[in-house]
Structure 1
Amino acid sequence: MRLAIALCVAIVSPVAGQVPEPDTFRGEPYLAAVPDSLSGAQVIGAEEALVLWNDGAGFVDVYPRTVKPDGLPEGTIWKEPRHDTIPGAVWLWNTGYEKLTPAEAQRLADGLADLTRDDPDRALVIFCRADCWMSWNAAKRAVELGYQRVNWFPGGIDDWQANLGPDLVRAEPAVP
């Protein structure tokens, strides 16, 4: 009986470690195992990321930003948490959510256009943290926007720091 149950579970469950690529954008929880693929994009590891970095590809960090909360009592001192990123990366914060506000969608579109100098064939590397769906979502959007050389780096900042260097640098958020 146990063997029959195990076989049924194996047939309907994905292989351990394999996450199917969804048809649409992924929401909560964003920190979770990610797929091994992204249609229309190249999935890369740390070594490929470093080669692309050395070749001058555009690096896009989509890690979310903690902004000053509305309604803080007068006189409250707000210090935005520091975020470190890969040197030369553009921090297009909050552009990896499942659903984007119009301002977030515009930030992504404008940021990608600026970074590629309106050349859809310029290589892009899109990342966040390891096992973060925000980078997958943003890379999927870049593909949908017509970029031809989208590289999704699912190991992101964590993989870069653990395997390569150069050291991370303080990120400055793209405006607005």
Structure 2
Amino acid sequence: MRHFIIPALLLASPAPAQGPLFDADGYRIAHYRAPVRQPPAGVGRIAPAAAAQLVPDRDAIFIDVLPTQGGHREPGGRWRLASPHESIPGAHWFPEAGRGQPDPAIAQGFARGLARLTRGQRSRMLILFCRADCWMGWNATKRLRAMGYANIWWLAEGTDGWRDLGLPLAPVQPDGGITP
């Protein structure tokens, strides 16, 4: 009698098929924590050390798009946070605005918030970020470029790169532009 050894890999069921990573417009819609190689077309990349030389709200508007960790929006648009969030001092936090397909109220609030912060000047320097290896900052820069903003910079290393320089982070609250 012959005995065959069947490798365990052949017995394992195939992995479930994963959905697409990008939508038809090129926004990342799944697995946001993954390496990101280049900024979207028309967007520059800024190093943490260069960003640290700028004064928030004077030289550039710093925009954090990290999602809330366990938080949610209540009816009326106010955020209920499960835990505090720390960001680059002086940054404006727009939770969830970096999703590939954000909730329409969040997308509208993001657009209103940026219009308010830039006073309608689409040439203002904007620095967008999340964390290292996070597609949400990338998505947000692409979205602002599509909205006609012209001076957009992506801080790919995000708050992780800022902290790696030994620079402090500060508590931040969600920006009021998100409320409906």
The TM-score normalised by the length of structure 1 is 0.77
Alignment coverage as a number of residue pairs: 147
- State the secondary structure of the residue aligned to 1:51: coil
1:145 is matched with: 147
Unmatched 5+ residue regions in structure 2? 1-23, 75-79
Q: Residues 163 and 29 from structure 1, CA distance in 2 versus in 1: closer, same or farther, beyond 3 angstroms?
A: same
Q: Letter of the 1:43 partner, please give it.
A: R
Q: Deviations over 1:34-84 (max 9, x none)?
A: 0223211101111221133365200000000132598xxxxxxx8621110
1:59 aligns with 2:62: yes
**Which structure carries more helix by proportion?**
1
Aligned to 2:123: 121
Unmatched runs of 5 consecutive residues or more in structure 1: 1-21, 71-77
Which deviates the most, 59-68 or 126-135?
A: 59-68
- Secondary structure of the residue that 2:62 maps to in structure 1? strand
The correspondence of residues 66-85 of structure 1 with structure 2, limited to 5 A, is: 66-68=70-72, 80-85=82-87
Q: Could you tell me which residue of structure 2 aligns to residue 36 of structure 1?
A: 38
The answer to whether the Cα contact below 8 Å between 2:71 and 2:81 also exists between their aligned partners in 1 is: no
Q: Which letter maps to 1:56?
A: D
Q: Are 1:174 and 2:172 an aligned pair? A: no
Paired with 1:38 and 1:79, the residues of 2 have a C-alpha distance of 30
Contact 2:39–2:138 under 8 Å retained in 1: no
Checking the alignment, whether the CA contact within 8 Å between 1:45 and 1:153 is kept in structure 2 is: yes
- What letter is aligned with 1:145? M
Contact 1:50/1:164 (8 A) holds in 2: no
Tell me the TM-score normalised to structure 2 length.
0.75
Q: Determine the structure 2 residue equivalent to 1:13.
A: none
Query: Aligned Cα RMSD in Å?
Result: 2.1
Structure 2 residue corresponding to 1:45, chosen from 44, 47, 51: 47
- 1:3 maps to none
Amino acid at match of 2:63: V
Q: Percent of counterpart pairs with the same letter? A: 37
Instruction: Answer with 1 or 2: which has the greater Rg.
Output: 2
